[in-house]
Structure 1
């Protein structure tokens, strides 16, 4: 009789085992800030709550209704206080998990770099490869950021590529329509 309980307990043990999560944090937002604009003498925090009018402009530009969200990041300035660029932070869903990333915009509004800060999926880490991220450099407009055309996918990481590209499109539109006019 005692053996039955032992076997029952052993049979249920695998159900209690938790599968490992494949989260990898590559750098903090502050480390990305220093890497993206090493020449900056100071960083001023950016925190934007889109107004309904700004949200409407964003949705019209992207051609899809987006979820209102707070946009955070920094403005990078040199020693004289001159604008060097801006960094915006965001998170998107890959296939199942969040991907945290940062986009650096030059003073002219062109994308200077995209950095993956944390990747939590079990597959698709290839979006961290410099060759894939380099596709965004120099782009300013949504016409230059079309997924599958100007921005190519990576086999096995299609959803991560698509969703990060959509996030970069969103941030580029916010940078152009909200931050640049300031």
Structure 2
């Protein structure tokens, strides 16, 4: 009888092996907005679901824009009430898991910074490196945000690079479609 229990325990041992979790949260959304706009005196929350017209414009600009999903973030203002820019928080799929990132757009619509807030993949964390994220700075139009041309990939993180770039493109189009705040 004991022999059966030993055989059953040995048979179930592979199921008990737990793979390590690689999820790392680097900063919260509120920490990101403060880091991206440290000179801001005030942040006003921005949250909207793309309208049918905005979704159609996204699809025309990007091809398949996917299903509509809520955009969330903040507009940043200095002490005099002057608009500094907007921070949007978004999630994209890496290879298998979600990547949470933030994009800061200046008042003129140019990308001021991209920050990785949470990375859940086992490989490809190199997209957090400042050199890779710096490629986005100053870019405004989709022609300036093309993956493989203007935005280079990192070996071993190609899908993460591609999907974050596509996410930044999506937010850039939506930012251009929303009235200035």
* Fold match (TM-score > 0.5): yes
Between the two proteins, the alignment pairs up a number of residues equal to: 181
Q: Secondary structure at the match of 1:135?
A: helix
For residues 61 and 79 of structure 1, what CA distance do their matches in structure 2 show? 36
| Structure 2 equivalent of residue 102 of structure 1 | 102
The normalised TM-score by structure 2 is 0.96
Matched, 1:83 2:83: yes
The correspondence of residues 1-182 of structure 1 with structure 2, limited to 5 A, is: 1-180=1-180, 182=181
Q: Segments of 4+ in structure 1 off by > 4 A?
A: none
Deviations 1:48-95 (A, max 9, x none): 111101111111111224210000000000112110000001000000
The normalised TM-score by structure 1 is 0.96
Which of 125-134 and 8-17 deviates more? 8-17
CA RMSD after TM alignment: 1.1
Q: Secondary structure at the match of 1:108?
A: coil
Unmatched 5+ stretches in structure 1? none
Which of 5-14 and 62-71 deviates more? 5-14
Q: Secondary structure at the match of 1:176?
A: helix
Deviations 1:97-141 (A, max 9, x none): 000000001111100000000000000000000000000000000
Unmatched 5+ stretches in structure 2? none
Which of 11-20 and 68-77 deviates more? 11-20
For residues 174 and 123 of structure 1, what CA distance do their matches in structure 2 show? 30
Q: Secondary structure at the match of 2:178?
A: helix
Instruction: Kindly state the Cα deviation for residue 179 of structure 1 after the two structures are TM-superposed.
Output: 4.1
Q: Secondary structure at the match of 2:72?
A: strand
